[in-house]
Amino acid sequence: MIYNIDFETLPREALEAIQLKRLQSTLERVYATVPFYQETFKAAGVTPADIKSLDDLAKIPFTTKQDLRDNYPYGMFAVPMDNVVRIHASSGTTGQPTVVGYTKRDIGTWSELMARSLAAGGATRGDIIHNAYGYGLFTGGLGVHYGAERLGASIIPVSGGNTKRQIVIMKDFGPTILTATPSYTLHLAEVAKEMGVDFKDLNFKFGIFGAEPWSEDMRQEIERTLGIDAVDIYGLSEVMGPGVAIECHEAKNGLHIFEDHFIPEIIDPVTGETLPYGETGELVFTSITKEAFPIIRYRTRDITSLEPAPCICGRSHVRMKRVSGRSDDMLIIRGVNVFPSQIESVLMKRDNVAPHYQLVVDRVDNLDTLTVKVEVGESLFSDEVKRLQEIEKGLSNDIKEYLGVSAKVKLVEPKGIERSQGKAVRVIDNRKV
């Protein structure tokens, strides 16, 4: 089902006309109200009046996470606080948190885009949504919540944690759609199994997973274990929260970006040059309808590419490929670029290892070493040591062959890797650079 058929199927020309008008008005507003933007535009020798086409957007400077930190907490807000009705903040796991705000109209826009997303992921008014994204400063929980209510579906605001209770609720309340991070979903499946509950006996039809990069193989693992169709959702608090882009369950092949609200670009992360459709680089977003926290050419650090071809679902909005990693998560091991998601893909090609893994990077005698810790199933772990060593060697060879990097693989006992209640910690980098 397409929630907003008029806007989600707009022909390209009409869509671009709307984008230009909204972009120009956003630029004028931020120039007048946010000192940061006025200063950076002036330094680049550009004013909003210079932007006469969508291509002119490339004249505007980028905004980075550091810029948001420098203006902590409210320096990037474009409206007075009495117009702000909601404040969220990023987790701050990699530094000072960034703070974002919403007007009443922003919450309305976000709710609509999340309603569109849930519908694209298979939800209808008749569905019951089990929402295991965390409620709080993180945008995941409340984003899904407001979208579900806008759509008219029933929402169970279960949030993250209390995993055993979640399984009981799944059995008793009969939810048909699961929303969670992919890593927490696998944890839920594990706990369910321990409790003697088979996910396939529950009522779930669809799952909408995101907030961390996950691979195509992980999707297949989740679909097989849960007996559902799984789609990928994308968003980040700096741009809005979840619902910036969503995969349609019909194609499950790339995420439609809601282009009537956001303008995406792909740039070369090193030179900053804009790249054409189809090329892989860093995703950059400009919001064109937000009031409290407009964001101009924000460098997401997420690595992907854009696909403009028409989609079988009927939506006309461009699709971004599943995020393959973050440019700041990218590990450089002895000169080779490695993303955790690439390691994940290699591991999941083998059916005797569990989907829980962690990368540990060390520097020994000025040489980088990569250790991949990966869990094996119960039955395998009780096998003889020789068999385990064979598997370790096999995985190590696979990683060398596919990614061109030497890694030591260490199999660990079931549950040997700590479970996250939200986003998984995939990399431990012990190097002091």
Using the contact rule CB under 5 A, the part of the chain among 50-58, 70-78, 128-136, 307-315 near Zn ion is 307-315
187 CA to centre of own chain: 19
Residue 227, phi then psi, degrees to nearest 5: 65, 45
For residue 271, CA distances in Å to 4, 46, 182, 260, 268 come to 38, 20, 33, 28, 6
Q: Is 251 in the site for Zn ion (CB under 5 A)?
A: yes
Q: Which of 20, 79, 239, 311 binds Zn ion (CB under 5 A)?
A: 311
Smallest distance, Zn ion to C-beta of residue 256, A? 6
Sheet-wide strand order for 274-275 = 274-275, 262-267, 281-287, 298-304, 325-326
Q: How many residues bind Zn ion (CB under 5 A)?
A: 5
Binding of residue 313 to Zn ion (CB under 5 A)? yes
CB atoms under 10 Å from CB of 397, counted, come to 11
* Residue 216 or 392 with smaller CB distance to Zn ion: 216
Segment contacting Zn ion (CB under 5 A): 57-65, 251-259, 358-366, 376-384?
A: 251-259
CA–CA dist 260, 274 (Å, integer) = 20
Stretch that binds Zn ion, among 34-42, 185-193, 246-254, 409-417 (CB under 5 A): 246-254
CB of 312 to Zn ion, least distance (A): 6
According to the binding rule CB under 5 A, does residue 417 interact with Zn ion?
A: no
CB of residue 433 to Zn ion, shortest distance in Å: 42
Nearest distance, CB of residue 245 and Zn ion, angstroms: 11
CA distance 93 to 429: 14
Provide the greatest CA pair distance for the chain: 72
Q: Given the rule CB under 5 A, which of 221-229, 242-250, 354-362, 379-387 is the region that contacts Zn ion?
A: 242-250
Nearest partner of 113 among 218, 20, 239, judged by Cα: 239
- The piece of 218-226, 260-268, 306-314, 425-433 that touches Zn ion (CB under 5 A) is 306-314
The residue (of 197 and 251) whose beta carbon lies closer to Zn ion is 251
By beta-carbon proximity to Zn ion, the closer residue of 1 and 137 is 1
Least spacing, CB of residue 244 vs Zn ion, in Å: 15
Residue 285 has, within 13 A of its CA and on its CB side, a CA count of: 29
User: Does residue 347 touch Zn ion according to CB under 5 A?
Assistant: no
CB proximity list for 407: less than 8 A, separation 6 or greater? 333, 343, 370, 371, 372, 396, 399, 400
The reply to whether 248 sits near Zn ion by the rule CB under 5 A is yes
3-state secondary structure of 283: strand
> What x/- string results for residues 113 through 152 when contact with Zn ion is judged by CB under 5 A?
----------------------------------------
Output 248 or 424, the one with its CB closest to Zn ion. 248
Q: How far is the CB of 156 from Zn ion (least distance, A)?
A: 27
| Token output for 306 | 């854009």
Phi, psi angle pair for 360, to nearest 5°: -120, 120
Please report, as ranges, the residues that interact with Zn ion according to CB under 5 A: 248, 251, 311, 313, 315
